[in-house]
Amino acid sequence: MRAIVQDVYGPPEVLRLEDVPRPVPGRGEVLLRVHAAGVDQGVWHLMAGRPYLIRAAGFGLRRPKDRIRGLDVAGRVEAVGPGVTRFGPGDEVYGICDGSFAEYACAKENRLAPRPAALTPEQAAAVPVSAVSALQALRGAGRLRPGGSVLVIGAAGGVGTYAVQLAKALGAGHVTGVCSAAKADLVRSLGADDTVDYATEDPVDGARRYDLVLDIAGNRPLRSLRRALAPRGTLVIVGGESEGRWIGGNDRQLRALLLSPFVRHRLRALASAVRADDLLALAGFIDSGALVPAVDRTYALPEVPDAIRYLREGRVRGKVVVRG
């Protein structure tokens, strides 16, 4: 089969299309014919090996432990391994697996769910990692209450586009999305009551306060973010991007957890994990029409390096997807 592989860490140029053996499903796994795969910031981090904390976490100290990149997936079950009971050959599914930038990939059955009938494979592949992160940030770490006010910083990105929609679906009274002026129309179309252009206005200057603030892939200091919180408000740091080689933007998550017991605000760092239950919950929102994936561009499998370059330019409106 064809797959996008890498043998060293580095920029998108280290990726190449290569013929490799088709994987064989193990216990609890299914073999998927990949129809589409999502692209997110995590793909870049694993490709680049940055921050170095990723390498120490088991992904390979000097070179990638797994040669094939890709996590989000939508596809058809071709075969099942021992112990699989939820799926059979021919089932259309979506979820996550290791190595989805390939024609075939193996996935654990507990990380998959039936693909919502309303979605194309490309749309479905844009959902798992980003939408599950948004759901867990709002419903789990954020403890969103009906009628609460929500500020989504990074509202036009992969996680942000889902966070805006899910916040409304979960009963938020008012949702404000922070994005560029060029993406404000997208964020409003997803249900945001207001948008803030970060280039002309500081969304965390304290002029407005929110019950829940989601900071998605940002780099603002904790003291600034706390200015936007109501007296008993919650801050959830969903991600962080910085130039730090060793821990990147993860220092803010650590400091938030250490500071939270000593202040009146709830400060949380999201560590999301895609589970079948969450995928089924998302399918319910999708089937009801409350959640619609925002797919910016699709690329062919050989164009994965171009897809990652486009993602890193910061111009993506929603998600980027690779066709299998």
Residues 6 or more apart whose CB falls under 8 angstroms from that of 148 comprise 171, 172, 173, 211, 212
pLDDT of residue 257: 79
Residues 6 or more apart whose CB falls under 8 angstroms from that of 200 comprise 181
Indicate the DSSP class of residue 304.
Answer: H
Q: How many of the other CB atoms lie within 10 Å of CB of 134?
A: 29
Give the three-state DSSP class for 321. strand
pLDDT of residue 126: 98
State residue 288 phi and psi, 5-degree precision: -80, -10
Rounded CA-CA distance 220/143 in Å is 22
Type and span of the H or E element at 278: helix 276-288
CA atoms within 13 A on the CB side of 314: 7
pLDDT of residue 174: 98
Scored b (16 or more CB within 10 A) or e, 293-318 reads bbbbbbbebebbbebbebbeeeebbb
pLDDT of residue 22: 97
Quote the pTM value.
0.93
- Give one DSSP letter per residue of 168-233, joined into a string: HHTT-SEEEEEE-GGGHHHHHHTT-SEEEETTTS-TTSSSS-EEEEEE-SB---HHHHHTTEEEEE
10-residue averages of pLDDT along the chain (324 residues): 95 96 97 97 84 63 85 98 97 97 98 97 98 96 96 96 98 97 97 97 96 91 95 89 56 78 90 92 97 97 97 93 94
State residue 95 phi and psi, 5-degree precision: 160, -140
Q: Is 46 exposed, middle or buried (0-12, 13-18, 19+ CB in 10 A)?
A: buried
Q: Is 22 exposed, middle or buried (0-12, 13-18, 19+ CB in 10 A)?
A: middle
pLDDT of residue 246: 47
Residue with tokens 């805006």: 164
Task: Provide the residue count of the chain.
Answer: 324
